């Protein structure tokens, strides 16, 4: 593929933990070209200086609007914050730029609204709460198990700088489980929390627990219990590189979409 045919990619949150991995991934794929990075504090600084390598010839730009106007990317990859991502997506769509969003914390209502906007404008977008293939399999296996073992709890574990809880992956897993299992409220009807929150968050009759500790990256265990047996389905992202094949796949796939896709699993089959 010659340079004219490369997919031009801008990255919002490029100096963050995930953003830096995205920049490295883009540099290793000749079908993609990294054209812009957005950061509110590093205007004009070469991105290479921040990610600890040689200069890349791509400076950070303060405003997303001016980055999109100047560099005309095809795709905006967003790994920012739950407070920022919504506005970023709106701006990208206004400029005809396809968003690929890893930032978690968007509400179901926001995702629905964004889906409508994409449909009206005939433009593709991908929101994936988890870009790791193993995490997608963990969700799918949990959905299958929930049909046969409906007593379930989710434990998600992340690094202590994560802003939203429960994780987007846990919410998506919970949605899939709720679709598959029969209506059931778990635990003893008279159970009582001596310390509020001890039983975790309640979702459609089952519980989700969020652990935040330094040293963690992104982990999830879905625990099932039945008479005389338990089943654990666990996924561990032990480095942020684990998400990059999924991000790469999404950047390429979004070019051929005319609607919003929520969840990497829809790109796998
Ligand atoms: P992080 O290290 O805190 O990075 C977020 C970056 O976004 C920071 O550099 C921050 O800059 C920047 N930022 C904030 N507001 C911005 C704005 N308006 N414009 C441009 N940049 C802005 O967080 P992270 O660990 O990379 O995670 C980012 C998001 O990805 C989180 O929502 C996390 O849950 C999610 N995540 C998703 C996946 C997945 O597979 N989907 C995997 C891991 C993480 P400042 O520090 O200067 O504010």
pLDDT, tens digit, 9 for 90 and up, residues 136-153: 999 999 999 999 999 999
Nearest CA to 233 out of 147, 135, 148, 128 is that of 135
pLDDT score recorded for residue 40: 84
**Pocket around ligand 1 at a 6 A CB cut-off:** 12-13, 15-19, 38-41, 79-81, 84, 102-105, 128-131, 162, 218, 243
Query: Cβ distance 247 to 77 under 8 Å?
Result: yes
Residue 73 contacts by C-beta under 8 Å, 6 or more apart in sequence?
8, 9, 10, 35, 36, 67, 97
pLDDT score recorded for residue 4: 59
149, two tokens: 């073992």
Nearest CA to 156 out of 174, 140, 144, 141 is that of 174
pLDDT score recorded for residue 52: 81
Best residue for ligand 1 mutational test, from 16, 82, 220 (most atoms within 8 Å of Cβ)? 16
Residues of the chain with confidence (pLDDT) below 50: 1-3
Closest ligand 1 atom to residue 20 Cα is 26
Residue 188: active-site member: no
pLDDT score recorded for residue 121: 95
Distance 217 CA to ligand 1 centre (A): 14
In this prediction the pTM is 0.90
Rg (CA), the chain: 20
Identify the residue whose C-alpha is closest to ligand 1 atom 1: 16
Segment 144-199, tens digit of pLDDT: 999 999 999 999 999 999 999 999 999 999 999 999 998 888 989 999 999 999 99
The bridge status of strand 218-226 relative to strand 229-237 is antiparallel
- From the candidates 8, 24, 95, 162, which is the catalytic residue? 162
172, two tokens: 């998506």
245, two tokens: 């094949």
Best residue for ligand 1 mutational test, from 10, 25, 39 (most atoms within 8 Å of Cβ)? 39
pLDDT score recorded for residue 1: 46
For the chain, how far is it from start to end, CA to CA, in angstroms?
A: 25
pLDDT score recorded for residue 68: 97
> Which one-letter DSSP state was computed for residue 165?
S
Domain annotation for the chain: domains and CATH numbers? 7-127+241-267 (3.40.50.720), 133-238 (3.30.360.10)
Query: Cβ distance 172 to 221 under 8 Å?
Result: no
Closest ligand 1 atom to residue 135 Cα is 40
Residue 158: active-site member: yes
């Amino acid at each position: 593929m010659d340079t004219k045919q490369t997919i031009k990619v801008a990255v919002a949150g490029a100096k963050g933990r995930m953003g830096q991995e995205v920049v490295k991934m883009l540099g290793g794929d000749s079908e993609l070209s990294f054209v812009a990075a957005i950061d509110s504090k590093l205007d004009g600084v070469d991105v290479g200086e921040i990610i600890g390598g040689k200069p890349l010839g791509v400076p950070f730009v303060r405003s997303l609007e001016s980055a999109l106007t100047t560099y005309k990317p095809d795709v905006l990859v967003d790994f920012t914050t739950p407070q920022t991502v919504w506005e970023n997506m709106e701006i990208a769509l206004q400029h005809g730029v396809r968003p690929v969003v890893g930032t978690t914390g968007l509400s179901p209502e926001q995702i629905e609204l964004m889906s409508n906007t994409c449909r009206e404008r005939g433009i593709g977008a991908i929101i994936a709460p988890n870009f790791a293939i193993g995490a997608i399999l963990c969700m799918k296996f949990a959905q299958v198990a929930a049909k046969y073992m409906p007593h379930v709890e989710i434990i998600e574990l992340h690094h202590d700088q994560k802003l939203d809880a429960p994780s987007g992956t846990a919410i998506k897993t919970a949605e899939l489980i709720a679709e598959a299992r029969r209506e059931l409220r778990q635990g003893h009807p008279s159970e009582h929390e001596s310390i509020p929150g001890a039983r975790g968050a309640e979702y459609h009759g089952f519980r989700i627990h969020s652990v935040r500790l330094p040293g963690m990256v992104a982990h999830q265990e879905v625990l099932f219990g039945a008479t005389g047996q338990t089943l654990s389905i666990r996924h561990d992202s032990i480095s942020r590189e684990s998400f990059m094949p999924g991000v790469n796949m999404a950047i390429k796939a979004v070019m051929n979409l005319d609607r919003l896709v929520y969840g990497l699993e829809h790109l796998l089959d």
